[in-house]
Amino acid sequence: MSDQANTAAVSDHPLAGRPLSGADTVVQVMADEGVDTIFGYSGGAILPIYDAVFRYNDRHKRGDGSSPMPLIVPANEQGAGFMAAGYARASGKVGVVMVTSGPGATNTVTPVRDSMADSVPLVVICGQVPLAAIGTDAFQEAPVSAIMGAVAKHIFLVTDAEQLEATVRSAFELARTGRPGPVVVDIPKDIQNQEVAFKGHGVLPLHGYRRRLAKVQENILSDDACERFFTMLSESERPLIYAGGGVINANAAKAMRRLANEYGIPVTTTLMALGASDTTHPLALHMLGMHGIASANYAVEDCDFLIAIGARFDDRVAGNPGQFAPNAKNIAHFDVDFAEIGKVKRVNWHHVGMLERDLTDMLAYGRRIGFEKTFSEWHKEIAELKSEYALNYDRESELIQPYAVIEEINRHSKGEAIISTGVGQHQMWAAQYFDFREPRLWLTSGSMGTMGFGLPAAIGAQFARPDRTVIDIDGDGSIRMNIGELETATTYKLPVKVIVLNNFGDGMVRQWQKLYFGGRMSGSDKSLHNKDFVKAAEADGFKFAKRLEHKTDLKKIIKEFMQFKGPAFLEVIIDRDAGVYPMVGPGLSYDSMITGDYIKSREKPDEEAPGPSEMF
């Protein structure tokens, strides 16, 4: 967006020309950007903006007494960051975090990096010590520009009050456009207090960024490119769409579904794209990759034309890039980021542009030329793969199996609840056994794999989607990281449902230690095991807080848990030896997939196990 266009669009701003403090300017820009929820923790260097939020809400209080821009206070700043990320992932809007200087800012580093890795739009407003004190090791000073510059999409240190308004407005533009990501604005306290005339318009001259963005926006599919794509499709007998998180970030799921349905192309998704394809559809293959469904991974092996959309061939999907989709004669790649093309896997055809528009244009071209081809034999093979290699587990065990817990919750949620997770075995079980009918129902830390993500992200998602059931599937190790946010859920009377699958240790680490380290449980087995999670939940205000220990009680207690109207907490004591299967070892190809004792596997070649240096 050019500054001229921006000016023309808002030249009649009612506050234009009025003197406002820097703090009031920040809050007014947030209001203009449509911010309706702020997550943050106060402190000395951010107090002027916190006060401005209070005064703004007081002046604009709604008829029912509610605030137009409520400020949600978590247990700590990391929780605030993940709440904002959960809000952004569930809504598609920019999440906003507001923290103080020093430790307030450094506590947000992990959620900022997490959001950068998963392309989540955030704006982080940090207080900073006054300009004159920067570099003097002042109280609660931290080099935010140096720290955040390495992990954020962009960082601004505001040194001129006249530029503050344009800077904050530009931060929102950067966060939401192109490949979304977190943008940090570091604002010294004296800049927050200084008065300047409010303009009501204007952005910074980010010429290089806007040129790159315009190049992508203007890169419309040519008829020649469409012709080459449909030539490859016509030569194919086993086409397969491999959809990544970019499909959801670009709001392109409907366009992708239309293209897939028009020509009967099966779809498999990455961990980050669950819900891009309705997992209950006959041609949906659910998730591929390291812990992908066996049928999905085998379909990747069998396909002769792989169509990657908004995906980046990461190591959890293409562990051995040279052997990924080994029978694909052609690979096509749609993306929004030029850097992803050919980065890991060489492709025959690619297009960098706006995914929703490009997929719609590709379908329109196919209709225009009257393209027709049936893939009925491939559809039969897909159905056979899904039947033959379906997920399964020891259904006769007297111990509670985590898969059975999730299957039972899924019977209640019907693929329509928002599912948030921590990181570990429970994350993969949730990804495998839940259905997702729509995008933005699956919230997880994918690239960073950050334990402690699940609970605060669920809280943020509940603020974003109060109409949805929100469930946090967590592990006993992961929830400890941000367990203080249980109180946040009850403080704000959020009907978040929290379930802890307790196997008394770091289950995923233990699984790897059993497979690759001779069963030596270094630091992972019962590392912490004295916490009474039910009492902790009760202490934090949960009226429903129960422990499920007996298999015979599973259906009854989960029904009570799901039907409870307010915040609900359930700890489930699961089989400590339950594993995540299928599993493809790091750096290995899909023909080396381990499926465990209860999922059928194709014959696989003998291959050396990965060494310790390849773990994780």
Q: Would you please indicate which residues are annotated as catalytic (active-site) residues?
A: 77, 139-140, 189, 508
**Any idea which residue has 């090791």 for tokens?**
137
Instruction: Number of helices (H) and strands (E) in the chain: give both, helices first.
Output: 24, 20
Q: Return the amino acid letter for 372.
A: E
SS (H, E, C) 515-569: HHCCCCCCCCECCCCCCCHHHHHHHCCCCEEEEECCHHHHHHHHHHHHHCCCCEE
Name residues whose C-beta falls within 8 Å of residue 97's C-beta, 6 or more positions apart in sequence. 38, 39, 40, 77, 80, 81, 84, 108, 111, 122, 123, 124, 125
Residue 41 pairs in a beta bridge with 99
DSSP H helical segments within 92-199, as ranges? 103-106, 109-117, 144-149, 164-176, 189-193
| Cβ atoms 175, 181 nearer than 8 A | yes
DSSP H helical segments within 349-439, as ranges? 355-368, 376-388, 402-413, 425-433
SS (H, E, C) 68-107: CCCEECCCCHHHHHHHHHHHHHHHCCCEEEEECCCHHHHC
Tokens encoding 325:
């989709």
DSSP 8-state class, residue 594: B
C-alpha span between 7 and 4 (Å, rounded): 5
Q: Is 5 left (phi over 0), alpha (psi -120 to 50) or beta?
A: alpha
C-alpha span between 176 and 249 (Å, rounded): 10
Cα–chain center distance at 326 = 29
| Cβ atoms 126, 159 nearer than 8 A | no
**CA 334 vs CA 76, 349, 365: distances in Å:** 39, 9, 16
Tokens encoding 88:
């952004």
How many residues in total does the chain contain? 616
C-alpha span between 109 and 490 (Å, rounded): 26
> Of 224, 232, 228, whose CA–CA distance to 330 is shortest?
232
C-alpha span between 322 and 506 (Å, rounded): 32
Q: Return the amino acid letter for 289.
A: G
C-alpha span between 255 and 266 (Å, rounded): 15
C-alpha span between 522 and 117 (Å, rounded): 29
Residue 569 pairs in a beta bridge with 498, 545
DSSP H helical segments within 465-532, as ranges? 476-480, 486-491, 507-516
| Cβ atoms 597, 608 nearer than 8 A | no
